Structure 1
């Protein structure tokens, strides 16, 4: 019951600022048609209710399951299994990410179908899956995340020089949308679960940083997509 109360308050505090700002603008400067403002109010209520149910689902289902999967994979002591399922889970979680769908629809609309939605979504998902697998390997072998970040962003700037300019902003937006409400809790919980079981690992230090690594994958994959399409 406390969890429900905390979630409701969290959602109210999240949507309250934009509600206040839009309401002030409505009755001072912009004066939108009342029908449009009522649509905004109804949409705000629907968003609030949806966020409450969504966050409850994340806390009840996604986070515990992600952590249990991570710990169960670590107990097998099979490196290939941990890395393989890291890739698969990163892939499928990204395919379910609503932010990725929104980006693909907008890119498809702006490019008039030149960049197919399915290709963009798959490229982003493969990029996330690859770097989640790499993050699992980092936890197991205990090497510094700084090296991966330096090499990853070095490749990004190198590919950006050979990619059509249109794809560069899309690639960085692709990295941003993977830090959405489904991907983040599940991948973080997966990393914490893996690190909590392996001997000599700290869940607080080794289990985090996965999102930073995972966001590199979509940027690289979309830049490669730009090289191919360009």
Structure 2
């Protein structure tokens, strides 16, 4: 019950300022704002309830199951099989991410179907999965994060010279949408779980960086898709 109260308070504190700001703008700019304001208030209430329930689900379910999976897999599986499982987990959570779906739908519409939303989602998911596996392997092998990020972004800027210009912003947006409210909690909790088993509690700082690499993967994957389309 305390968790419900805490999340309700945090949700209201997050949404209330923007609700008040939008209402004030509507009252100032619209000639007959009452109908618009009423509709907006109803929508804001629905958003508040929905966001609160979502955050509650993330806290009591997604975070815990991600950490549990991350702590159990290294004890049950060998290194190669663990990496394969991490790839599939990354793909699964990305495909379920609402932000990825929205971006894919918008790109499909804007490109008149030239860039299929299913193909884009598949490449984004594959990019997240592969780079989550790289993040897990980094912890197992002790590779510094800075080297992986440096190599990754060198690849990004090198590929940008070979892909069609319209793919570059799509690629970077694809990396951004993988930091959505569903993907990030799962990735971070999975990293904490894996690190707690592999490196012990004293090296839990190694669990950070999963999201950085996971958001880098889709950028490279979509740019490679651009090379294919070119």
Structure 1 residues 67, 200: CA separation in 2 closer, same or farther (over 3 Å shift)?
Answer: closer
Whole-angstrom CA distance in 1 between matches of 2:126 and 2:32: 43
Q: TM-score, normalised by structure 1?
A: 0.95
CA offset at residue 216 of structure 1? 0.5
* Residues 74-93 of structure 1 deviation map (CA, whole Å, 9 limit, x = unaligned): 21361112211111110000
CA contact (8 A) 1:94 1:124 kept: yes
| Whole-angstrom CA distance in 2 between matches of 1:166 and 1:185 | 31
Deviation at 1:61, TM superposition (A): 0.9
Q: CA RMSD in A?
A: 1.5
Q: Which residue of 2 aligns with 1:209?
A: 209
Give the aligned partner of residue 21 of structure 1: 21
SS in 1 for 2:207: coil
> Are residues 1:115 and 2:115 paired?
yes
Could you tell me whether the CA contact under 8 Å between 1:63 and 1:186 is conserved in 2?
A: yes
Aligned-partner Cα distance in 1 for 2:228–2:63: 37
Question: What residue number does 2:189 align with?
Answer: 189
Distance in structure 2 (CA, Å) of the matches to 1:147 and 1:160: 20
Which has the higher mean CA deviation after the structures are superposed, 76-85 or 186-195? 76-85
Alignment CA distance shift 1:32-1:145 (3 Å): farther
In structure 1, stretches of 5+ residues that fail to align are none
How far did 1:30 drift?
4.6
Q: TM-score if structure 2 supplies the norm length?
A: 0.95
Alignment of 1:83-94 (within 5 A): 83-94=83-94
Asked whether the 8 Å contact 2:26–2:33 carries over to 1, the reply is no
Give the match for residue 131 of structure 2.
Answer: 131
Instruction: Write the distance in 2 (CA, Å) between the matches of 1:228 and 1:45.
Output: 45
Partner of 1:54: 54
How far off is 1:37 after superposition? 3.4
Query: What is the distance in 2 between the residues matched to 1:185 and 1:128?
Result: 14
CA contact (8 A) 1:174 1:218 kept: yes
Please state if 1:71 is matched with 2:75: no
Shift of 1:39: 2.8
Deviation at 1:43, TM superposition (A): 1.8
Structure 2 unmatched runs, 5+: none
Aligned residues: 230
1:43 aligned partner: 43
Identify if the C-alpha distance between structure 1 residues 9 and 196 changes in structure 2 by more than 3 Å, giving closer, same or farther: same
Deviation at 1:131, TM superposition (A): 0.2
- Are residues 13 and 164 of structure 1, via their aligned partners in 2, closer, same or farther at CA, if it must alter by over 3 Å? same
Match of 1:166 in 2: 166
Partner residue, 1:6? 6
